[in-house]
Structure 1
Amino acid sequence: MSKEMSIIESFGDKDYIFKLNYKTMIIVQNEIDAGPLVILKSILNGTFKVEHISTILQWALVGGGLTANEALKLVKIYVQDMPINDNLELAMKIMSAAIYGREENSKSNEKS
């Protein structure tokens, strides 16, 4: 069975594809100065830095198909002007999908 690294989640004004592929994960690692598992662990245990959330979401939006400018604009609106906690779960889901993958048929944003 094949694994998928992208997730589709509501973010601000609509649903977006978030994906940290090899290229964008390297950018995230370099900007945060830590490997993927260390980054995920820091989110889970609360030792992350605030800018880590912005970095993860911005580059995952780029990996999902947006331009760097489009992604930065969205992050400024929906991350930097919002409570930190509003985007923690999304950052965790993005990192988990990038590291472990998810089953292709599963949906990351099942709505009730």
Structure 2
Amino acid sequence: MRTVTLGIASRESVGKRFLEASTGSPQGTFISFDSPERLFKVLSGKRWHLLKVMTGSAPISIREAARRVGRDVKAVYADVQVLLNAGILYKTGEGRIVFPFDAIHVDFMLKAA
């Protein structure tokens, strides 16, 4: 099962993970955001729903994605662009979109200021 971990991480933390990976130590697949605000801006409720229906599926067209979530194609297109720019979705050579993971793990901690 391919799992992606979404989380909040500093540049130092990402750099450390990169250095550990360069020595051959498996790190898993991570998509990191620099703040909770950015994570929640990119991953709105409708975008989460889109990822949910795409998790574990084959590449699909934006029109098919809109049909699966019951939304307007133009609105889904806009959400797909945000998720592509964030590196969460990928586009195939045929122009289809894919979320190449079977599971999503979200990892962050909120501490007192």
Q: TM-score normalised to the size of structure 2?
A: 0.33
**Higher fraction of helix:** 1
Max radius of gyration: which structure? Answer: 2
Give the structure, 1 or 2, with the largest relative contact order (CA under 8 Å, sep 6 or more).
1
